[in-house]
């Protein structure tokens, strides 16, 4: 029988996934290239700042859905961060190509390689529920809108990476 991993490990996995996704977003844009290191940033289960960020993201989901349903010309790359349950270890991972299903659930593609979801790979289509959404983001005029769970991680990144990422956020 496997022992459940501590929440700190779960947050670390989420941090790695966030860093990789942000690296992809930042390097696909025109203009100067910004590199975000693929690093593990541990966050404790009871981390008040991260829990507040998740709460803010969930409270502002209507902003995401309004843009998703009727995007303005400069609003692109809509993504949701979703919690997936795994044996003793939840994984929060960014999802792209989000679609609302008639059942009220959602389908999307993994925007990174899942680490704790056997048989799932980057780009795979999967379904999830609204209750599992932990963050959202989209790009507007080259800036990241949303991404509340990114902000608590900035203080753990190298200053140059954090500053470059802040510069790419609409509300750092």
Q: Which pLDDT does position 69 carry in this prediction? A: 94
* Alpha-carbon span 49 to 27, nearest angstrom: 28
Alpha-helical runs (H) found in 85-136: none
Q: Give 57 or 20, the one with higher predicted confidence.
A: 57
Does 113 fall in a domain? yes
Residue 96 falls within a domain, yes or no?
Answer: yes
To the nearest whole number, what is the mean pLDDT of the chain? 80
Domain that holds residue 81: 7-168
Residue 54 in domain:
yes
> In this structure, is residue 40 part of a structural domain?
yes
Contact 104, 91 (CB under 8 A): no
CB atoms within 10 A of CB 36: 23
- Assess whether pLDDT exceeds 80 at residue 34: no
Q: Does 1 map to a domain?
A: no
Helix (H) or strand (E) holding 92, with range, is: strand 91-100
How many folded domains does the chain comprise? 1
Would you say residue 100 lies in a domain? yes
Q: Would you mind telling me the total number of residues written for the chain in this entry?
A: 172
The model's pTM is 0.76
**140 domain-assigned:** yes
Rounded-to-integer distance, Cα 28 and Cα 63, Å:
24
pLDDT > 60? residue 100: yes
**95 within domain boundaries:** yes
CB 135 within 8 A of CB 52: no
């Amino acid at each position: 029988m496997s022992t459940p991993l501590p929440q700190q490990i779960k947050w670390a996995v989420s941090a790695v996934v966030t860093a990789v996704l942000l690296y992809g977003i930042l390097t696909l844009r025109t203009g100067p290239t910004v590199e975000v290191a693929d690093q593990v940033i541990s966050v404790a289960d009871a981390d008040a700042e991260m829990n507040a960020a998740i709460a803010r993201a969930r409270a502002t989901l209507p902003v995401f859905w309004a843009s998703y349903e009727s995007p303005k010309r400069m609003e692109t790359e809509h993504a949701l961060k979703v919690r997936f349950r795994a044996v003793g270890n939840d994984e929060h991972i960014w999802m792209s190509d989000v679609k609302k299903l008639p059942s009220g659930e959602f389908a999307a593609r993994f925007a990174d390689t899942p680490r704790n979801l056997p048989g799932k790979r980057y780009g795979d289509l999967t379904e999830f529920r609204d209750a599992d959404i932990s963050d959202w983001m989209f790009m507007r005029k080259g800036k990241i809108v949303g991404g509340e769970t990114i902000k608590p991680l900035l203080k753990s990144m190298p200053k140059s990476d954090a500053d470059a990422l802040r510069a790419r956020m609409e509300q750092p």
